[in-house]
């Protein structure tokens, strides 16, 4: 049927609440080709309301005027239906998700349809219907921002995981700043206990009391009742603590706080002890628990005062294992070897007039095999794809590991860093510079053992007797019995009541006054 434009009215409940784009192109299309799709209308008093085609009606108003008697083809339906509008709009230009959500919500609220039947009617998945239903529960503040394109679909979907009050709190916190995905994600989920963060084992009875809710827009799952889930976790931790109190000297709980934020609590505790020498009843157990982070771990400690007493008693009773000053702990040994490495590295770097042959021999040995002093690597780099490589093609060896003097080279090139300029610049620096560059690069590429071995085998390095400076950090890694032994050798006055820190200080002061020793020689040359 044909109806005059003046008798057609926009549907005040139009599905497409977001203003559609490209009205100019639609006007041009109608002027050129007329309307390709009829308007869907319903009787409304003396006129008609447009159910489907409100954008086309706006275009007609622009072309002919709202009071025009121009007739247009229409299809009349008996009852206005938002569902008809939804079907029609979904078949053409994409609707805003909130417009879809409004219709789905109303259909569900009517009680005549479930998610499955609605999905079949619209040719969508049940998940799609569930998602649109969830979007209909966005607070007016969030929905407005979504419609105004202040946030994208991904951000809007995050808000569906909290109630409207919390949604508005988050929006208020964000203020007028740019709405960031990660910021909203953190605000939404930081108060939820995620399924992958639960510390209770799945086989435990308490785990079975937790129910889970899934994020409709992702694979995230979180506890339906956060408070209950946290309470169950706390119960689990409490049971663990009570069980361990029967086994350990003491158990200390750190909840929602880092242990190092409470230095007074652990000031007398140490993790550096031989576990073979202590039973659980001698140890303190710290329990670290962050309910919403999914963090739960324990650490074993020994009271340093107990360690000193035990060592002193062992010394008095003659029960100590005969330790020497050469019996260093692993941390001590690593500190010594790193310092020893530094001495040899410095010795090599200070060498002048290095023969070019030694550089070439180092580079060739690195290119030949993996058994080399240097860690410089040579990569086979083909200009062809694997399946396109000619049978006659031989790969070139490319060295991309020169790491020193780059500032000199780049300065010379004045920011014109190209293959040609790098090559030209090195050529311009002369042979002596390039030999020195290779030498420093080779040294820098040597690991600890390789550097020490190379320096000792290829040079006449003899480290000074005072190459190693004993600092408090190194001294205190000795056992108390060894510190007593060191005091005896250095003729330092002490008493059995001296604490370990007191001994460390006395020994360090003696070293500061000129004591020289070589730990590599197992301290046999103490002077």
Whether residue 228 sits in one domain with residue 212: yes
Residue in the structure block whose two tokens are 């998602």: 131
Q: How far is CA 89 from the centre of its chain?
A: 42
Residue 232 has which token pair? 């169950």
| 60 assigned to some structural domain | yes
| 378 assigned to some structural domain | yes
- Nearest-Å Rg of the Cα atoms of the chain is 40
Residue 207 has which token pair? 């785990």
Instruction: Going residue by residue through the chain, which has 527 residues, state the pLDDT in tens, using 9 for 90 and above.
Output: 788 999 999 887 665 544 555 577 678 767 766 776 778 888 888 889 888 788 888 889 989 999 999 999 887 776 555 555 555 555 445 568 888 888 788 777 766 567 888 777 666 788 888 998 999 999 999 999 998 888 889 999 999 999 999 999 999 988 766 788 889 999 999 889 999 889 999 999 999 999 999 999 988 999 999 999 999 999 999 999 999 999 999 999 999 888 878 888 888 888 878 787 888 999 999 999 998 888 899 999 998 877 767 665 665 565 555 566 667 777 788 888 888 888 888 888 888 778 888 888 888 877 765 567 777 665 544 444 444 444 443 333 223 333 344 555 556 666 566 777 778 888 888 888 888 888 888 888 888 888 888 888 888 787 766 677 778 888 888 888 788 887 887 788 888 778 888 889 988 888 887 776 677 765 444 43
Whether residue 183 sits in one domain with residue 161: yes
Whether residue 176 sits in one domain with residue 252: no
| 164 assigned to some structural domain | yes
Spatial distance between the Cα atoms of 315 and 310, rounded to a whole number of angstroms: 9
Distances in whole angstroms, Cα of residue 295 to Cα of each of 80, 194, 228, 298? 57, 12, 18, 10
> Residue 152 sits in which domain range?
138-190
Spatial distance between the Cα atoms of 58 and 61, rounded to a whole number of angstroms: 5
User: How is residue 242 annotated by DSSP?
Assistant: H
| 499 assigned to some structural domain | no
Whether residue 236 sits in one domain with residue 204: yes
Total domains in the fold of the chain: 4
| 210 assigned to some structural domain | yes
Q: What is the CATH number of the domain that holds 10?
A: 3.90.1530.30
Spatial distance between the Cα atoms of 366 and 387, rounded to a whole number of angstroms: 29
Whether residue 297 sits in one domain with residue 203: yes
Q: How many residues does the chain have?
A: 527
User: How is residue 5 annotated by DSSP?
Assistant: G
Whether residue 295 sits in one domain with residue 263: yes
| 374 assigned to some structural domain | yes
Per-state percent for the chain, helix, strand, coil, to nearest 5: 50, 15, 35
Whether residue 454 sits in one domain with residue 359: yes
| 310 assigned to some structural domain | no
């Amino acid at each position: 049927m044909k109806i005059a434009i003046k008798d057609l009215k926009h549907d005040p409940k139009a599905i497409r609440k977001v203003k559609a784009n490209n009205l100019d192109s639609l006007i041009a299309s109608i002027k050129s080709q007329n309307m390709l799709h009829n308007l869907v209308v319903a009787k409304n008093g003396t006129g008609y309301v447009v159910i489907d085609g409100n954008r086309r009606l706006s275009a007609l108003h622009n072309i002919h005027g709202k009071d025009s008697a121009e007739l247009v083809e229409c299809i009349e339906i008996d009852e206005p239906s938002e569902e008809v509008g939804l079907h029609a709009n979904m078949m053409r230009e994409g609707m805003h998700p909130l417009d879809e959500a409004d219709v789905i919500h109303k259909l569900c609220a009517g009680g005549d349809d479930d998610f499955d039947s609605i999905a079949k009617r619209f040719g969508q998945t049940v998940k799609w219907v569930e998602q649109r239903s969830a979007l209909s529960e966005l607070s007016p503040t969030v929905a407005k921002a979504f419609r105004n394109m202040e946030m994208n679909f991904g951000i809007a979907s995050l808000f569906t995981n909290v109630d409207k009050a919390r949604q508005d709190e988050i929006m208020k916190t964000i203020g007028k700043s740019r709405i960031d995905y990660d910021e909203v994600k953190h605000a939404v989920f930081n108060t939820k206990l995620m399924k992958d963060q639960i510390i209770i084992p799945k086989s435990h009875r308490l785990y079975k009391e937790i129910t889970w809710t899934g994020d409709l827009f992702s694979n995230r799952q979180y506890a339906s009742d956060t408070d209950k889930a946290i309470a169950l976790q706390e119960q689990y931790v409490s049971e663990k603590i009570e069980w361990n109190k029967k086994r350990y000297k003491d158990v200390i709980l750190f909840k929602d706080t880092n242990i190092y934020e409470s230095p007074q609590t652990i000031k007398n505790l140490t993790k550096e002890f031989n576990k073979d020498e202590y039973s659980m009843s001698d140890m303190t157990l710290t329990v670290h628990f962050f309910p919403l982070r999914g963090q739960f771990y324990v650490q074993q400690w020994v009271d340093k005062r107990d360690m000193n007493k035990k060592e002193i008693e062992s010394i008095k009773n003659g029960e100590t294992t005969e330790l020497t000053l050469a019996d260093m702990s692993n941390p001590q040994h690593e500190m010594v070897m790193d310092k020893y490495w530094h001495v040899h590295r410095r010795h090599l770097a200070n060498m002048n007039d290095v023969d070019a042959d030694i550089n070439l021999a180092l580079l060739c040995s690195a290119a030949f095999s993996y058994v080399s002093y240097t860690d410089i690597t040579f990569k086979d780099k083909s200009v062809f794809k694997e399946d396109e490589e000619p049978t006659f093609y031989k790969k070139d060896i490319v060295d991309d590991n020169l790491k020193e003097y780059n500032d000199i080279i780049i300065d010379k090139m004045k920011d014109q860093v190209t293959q040609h300029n790098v090559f030209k610049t090195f050529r311009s620096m002369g042979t002596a510079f390039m030999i020195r560059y290779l030498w420093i690069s080779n040294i820098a590429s040597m690991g600890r053992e390789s550097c020490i071995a190379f320096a000792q085998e290829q040079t006449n390095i003899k480290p000074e007797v005072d190459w190693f400076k004993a600092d408090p950090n190194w001294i205190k890694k000795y056992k108390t019995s060894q510190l007593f032994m060191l005091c005896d050798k250095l003729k330092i006055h002490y008493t059995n009541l001296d604490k370990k820190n007191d001994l460390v200080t006395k020994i360090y002061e003696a070293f500061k006054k000129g004591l020289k020793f070589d730990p590599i020689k197992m301290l046999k040359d103490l002077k």
